[in-house]
Amino acid sequence: MASNKKPALQNFRPIQRAILLAGAALLVSLAAGEILALGWGSGSWLGRLSSKWASTLSLFYLFFAVLLASLTIGLFHPKRWSRARKLILGFRKSMGSWRWPSLALVLLFPAWFVFFSPWGGLFVGLFFRVLLFILDLFLAAVLLTEHRSQLIEWRSLFSAGLLLGAVLVLAESLVLVSDFPFALHWSEGNRLWDYSVVLGRERYNYASTDTIFAWIDAGRQTLWGLPFLFSDVPIWLVRLWSAILVTVPYALLGLLAFTPPEGRREQWLAAGLWSLIFLNQGPIYTPLVLAAMLVALARRKPLWLALPLVYFAGEYAGASRFTWSFAPAIWAVMLSFGDSVLTRGHLAWRDWLRALALGLAGIWTKGLPILVGVVVGVFPFLLAGEAAPVGAGGPPSSVETLQGLQAVSTHQPFLWERLLPNPIYAPGILLGVALATLPLILLAVYLVRNGPWKTAFWQRAAMLAGLGALLVVGMVASAKVGGGTDLHNMDMFLVGLVLVAAVAWEGGLAARFNKLVSDSGRVRWLLAGMIFIPAFLPMIEGKPLELPFQERTQFVLQRIQDKVVCARQHGEVLFMDQRQLITFGLMGDLPLVVDYEKKYVMDQALSGEAAYFDRFREDLAESRFALIITERGALRYKETDLESLGDSLIEENNAWVAWVTTLLLQYYESVGEFKDVAVELFMPIERNFDCP
């Protein structure tokens, strides 16, 4: 007699079966992937892991096995799955007010594990981090769900993603807050010196009354330099200020750009959190974000107030970086058109006049001279049917002429292959920016085509033209040698998308959000991409700060101090690198040598400035410096062949070897190398003094 009992799997709805099967497959693949990531089978980790690490690894895979067993039981025994669901619902209900402290612990755990625990340096595989992110996201969403009969809701899942992403972004910045005296990465130490030389000039023994040259824009220098108004500010506090600057303004831009719906302040706060994690994908330099905040403040303001806000935005952005000169004007025009359509449903002649006035205000002092210089440089040659030559019509260092703009834009080579996947930035710029922005762009297209967001033709044209121009400029800047390591040159484009998202939000998404999420699977998945991709990004390469023991740090610092005390009696002491040691008083009253700062030297090397290095050669040949403190330099050329496929920054390495290392080793020799802090000391080869 045939049984009428259905197989266990048929007692589930298709979506439940799909989730269970996908979950089981994911667990198996994650476990296998993590084993490969740790090198199991090659024996690479067995010899270096203590019993403590091995025990933790065993517990980790035991946890994998428990999860897989739970999914298997749920897959073939639906009633037990239903019982487990009821148990979770009952437990959540019984938690009462303890649910919120539990939520805080759930959200903080991945950040602590990845960035602040010793385990974060071991479990670096992408597979494990994906699992940790998914599990934490699920637990947080369960705790956030208010509906008593629902285990999880899409809205709670999105909220959990925003909160978890914000915590991870903050942890990624705060992990660098340390009192470690040496640089934490390639340019960090000398950047701290850059920030200090205006507001903290009294820290230096510098006889000249001239301005201390630092290779940095005024916008970043003054903003990051504010802590140096206090004479005794410690290095950890300056790093904390930096961590604040690269996080909090991102959220503030979202809060200013997005108008809070009536009675829905939580959606407004969610917009700020989304802006934080979205812009962190760059990351974006804060002066540009502050300029965008001024433009956002100008929205719907009377023209007499909007004009100075946009003017100061353009002034500040252009003073910070010449490539930003046009961005505030473009943003202001896009927002002006968008707000006009939101208000009246169409564009009237006064809307065009307002947009024109705001656009001119945004480029008046910085962008307009460039525009006029280009037109004046091109127009006579267009009349004659010729091309404007490079090198005529103004000094090449000025971007306010066609020739100057050409010179500044092309004085270094372009590496277009960095737009594609490469060892420096794995996805490449094209794929990276697509992953970062495509969900948002597709959602905007969906809203326009399906009616929730009412737009006008010229509004769409302005947004497409403005964002397209910003995208192209970002691509070109990313392809220059020295760039392409992340999406920070896509800054104007990313900020522009945040402002467009604010218009789309008010244009229909906010009012129909709940209905769209419940009725449209396409909208749900696009929102998931907008939130979960940037939220997970800090976990990909995040790890604890790996520093030498304090005793070792003090030993190296003492050795450098001893060399400096001795060498300054016989000549100048040059800190090409690690200038923050002077900034924070660790080298006493050592006279400051401004020349040959590492970042500027690298820029000159990438540009092949032979005259600059002729002077460098003369100073080395004359033994001008009794001691040179620099990073552990590149000593060999790298080839762009299959053997060097895994190497990164090959062009930068080879430029440094050709222009710096080769000259340095002709006249100087290493007298101290400290690999764990990336410092090397050099003295003249034929010196008539000795510093033991």
Whether 316 contacts 302, CB under 8 Å? no
Which residue has better confidence, 56 or 354?
Answer: 354
Give the integer Cα–Cα distance in Å for 554 and 464: 56
Distance of CA 286 to the CA centre of its chain: 11
Whether the pLDDT of residue 396 is over 50: the answer is no
Q: Are strands 625-630 and 572-575 parallel, antiparallel or unpaired?
A: parallel
Give the integer Cα–Cα distance in Å for 249 and 511: 26
Whether the pLDDT of residue 333 is over 80: the answer is yes
Count of beta carbons in the 10 Å neighbourhood of residue 41: 9
Q: Lowest mean pLDDT: which of 322-336, 386-400, 490-504, 637-651?
A: 386-400
pLDDT band with cut points at 50, 70 and 90 for residue 655: confident
- Spatial CA neighbour of 283 closest among 312, 310, 309, 249: 249
**What pLDDT digit, counting tens, does each position of 59-89 carry?**
666 666 666 666 666 656 666 666 666 776 7
- Spatial CA neighbour of 200 closest among 168, 220, 228: 228
Q: Report percent pLDDT > 70 for the chain.
A: 77
628 pairs with which residues across the strands? 574, 682
679 pairs with which residues across the strands? 674
Contacts 24+ apart (CB under 8 A), 424-429: 424/484, 424/485, 424/648, 424/649, 425/484, 425/485, 425/486, 429/475, 429/478, 429/479, 429/484, 429/487, 429/490
pLDDT computed for residue 32 by the predictor: 64
Average pLDDT score over the chain: 83
Distance of CA 425 to the CA centre of its chain: 12
Which residue has better confidence, 82 or 352?
Answer: 352
DSSP string of 476-504? Answer: HHHHBTT--SSSGGGHHHHHHHHHHHHHH
Q: Lowest mean pLDDT: which of 105-109, 378-382, 437-441, 462-466?
A: 378-382
684 pairs with which residues across the strands? 668
Report in angstroms the alpha-carbon separations of 420 from 416, 484, 629. Answer: 8, 10, 36
Q: Lowest mean pLDDT: which of 19-33, 203-217, 221-235?
A: 19-33
Q: Report percent pLDDT > 90 for the chain.
A: 48
pLDDT computed for residue 463 by the predictor: 94
Q: Using omega within 30 degrees of 0 as the cis cutoff, is the peptide bond preceding 261 cis?
A: no
Give the integer Cα–Cα distance in Å for 260 and 243: 27
pLDDT computed for residue 121 by the predictor: 82
Q: Lowest mean pLDDT: which of 335-349, 555-569, 670-684?
A: 335-349
pLDDT band with cut points at 50, 70 and 90 for residue 491: very high
- Spatial CA neighbour of 159 closest among 263, 270, 250, 254: 270
Give the integer Cα–Cα distance in Å for 532 and 137: 9
Provide the residue ranges of all domains of the chain, joining segments of one domain with +.
Answer: 8-174, 246-365+412-541, 548-684
Whether the pLDDT of residue 590 is over 80: the answer is yes
pLDDT band with cut points at 50, 70 and 90 for residue 302: very high
**What pLDDT digit, counting tens, does each position of 537-549 carry?**
999 989 999 999 9
Whether 612 contacts 604, CB under 8 Å? yes
Give the integer Cα–Cα distance in Å for 317 and 366: 9
pLDDT computed for residue 64 by the predictor: 64
Whether the pLDDT of residue 17 is over 70: the answer is no
- Spatial CA neighbour of 354 closest among 319, 396, 310: 310
Q: 114-128, 139-153, 345-359, 372-386: which has the highest mean pLDDT? A: 345-359
Amino acid residing at 477: A
